[in-house]
């Protein structure tokens, strides 16, 4: 990578961190507004940022990512570890080697139908994708689920949901195909 690539990557990470900070600030009081902000900011980053996961040729005609409308049925909190909630259980991964933090990929019954077949991400705190916590419980709001970069362009290599990160129920929330 060139020096410019590193600088634009840092800018991407800072903008994502700022976006999630703004989302966390409004999520508890107005989840639909927080979701609308997240969608707007993500669409702008994908459309115009040099580090967008979209290939450059796809950006000029880009009209926005596809999302489900906000649905409070898919918002939960759960203690860190193997999280169990109304739709099932998921393994949360602790990232020791890569700056620390938590990573929550998942695959549900929508995978390969209305979402990416490899699954989606909900939390990736190493990249600032973090909805915060309430007390000792993590906020798991699947309305903010998103596709990994490899969904948009095969140049990206992405960790996908493993066998302990699968839910048999459909999660019709967040980003969709």
Rounded distance, CA 69 to CA 165, Å? 24
Q: Note down pLDDT in tens along the chain; length 177 residues.
A: 899 999 999 999 999 999 999 999 999 999 999 999 999 999 999 999 999 999 999 998 999 999 999 999 999 999 888 888 889 999 999 888 767 789 999 999 999 999 999 999 999 998 899 999 999 999 999 999 999 999 999 999 999 999 999 999 999 999 999
List, in sequence order, the alpha helices (H) in 67-146: none
What residues contact residue 123 under an 8 Å CB cut-off, 6+ apart? 92, 102, 103, 104, 129, 130, 131, 138, 140
Rounded distance, CA 30 to CA 36, Å? 10
pTM of the model: 0.95
- Continuous segment of H or E residues that includes residue 134: strand 133-134
Tokens at residue 80, please?
Answer: 């860190």
């Amino acid at each position: 990578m060139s020096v410019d690539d590193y600088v634009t990557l840092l800018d991407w990470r800072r903008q994502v961190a700022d976006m999630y900070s703004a989302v966390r600030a409004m999520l508890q009081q107005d989840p639909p507004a927080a979701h609308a902000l997240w969608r707007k900011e993500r669409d702008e980053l994908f459309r115009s940022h040099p580090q967008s996961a979209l290939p450059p040729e796809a950006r000029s005609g880009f009209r926005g990512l596809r999302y489900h409308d906000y649905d409070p049925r898919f918002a939960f909190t759960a203690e860190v570890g193997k999280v169990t909630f109304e739709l099932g259980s998921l393994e949360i991964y602790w990232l020791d080697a890569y700056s620390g933090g938590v990573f929550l990929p998942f695959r549900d019954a929508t995978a390969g139908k209305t979402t990416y077949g490899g699954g989606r991400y909900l939390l990736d705190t190493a990249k600032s994708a973090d909805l915060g916590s309430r007390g000792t419980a993590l906020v798991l709001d699947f309305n903010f689920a998103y596709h990994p970069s490899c969904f948009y362009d095969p140049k990206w290599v992405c960790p996908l949901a493993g066998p302990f990160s699968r839910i048999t129920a459909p999660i019709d929330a967040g980003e969709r195909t």
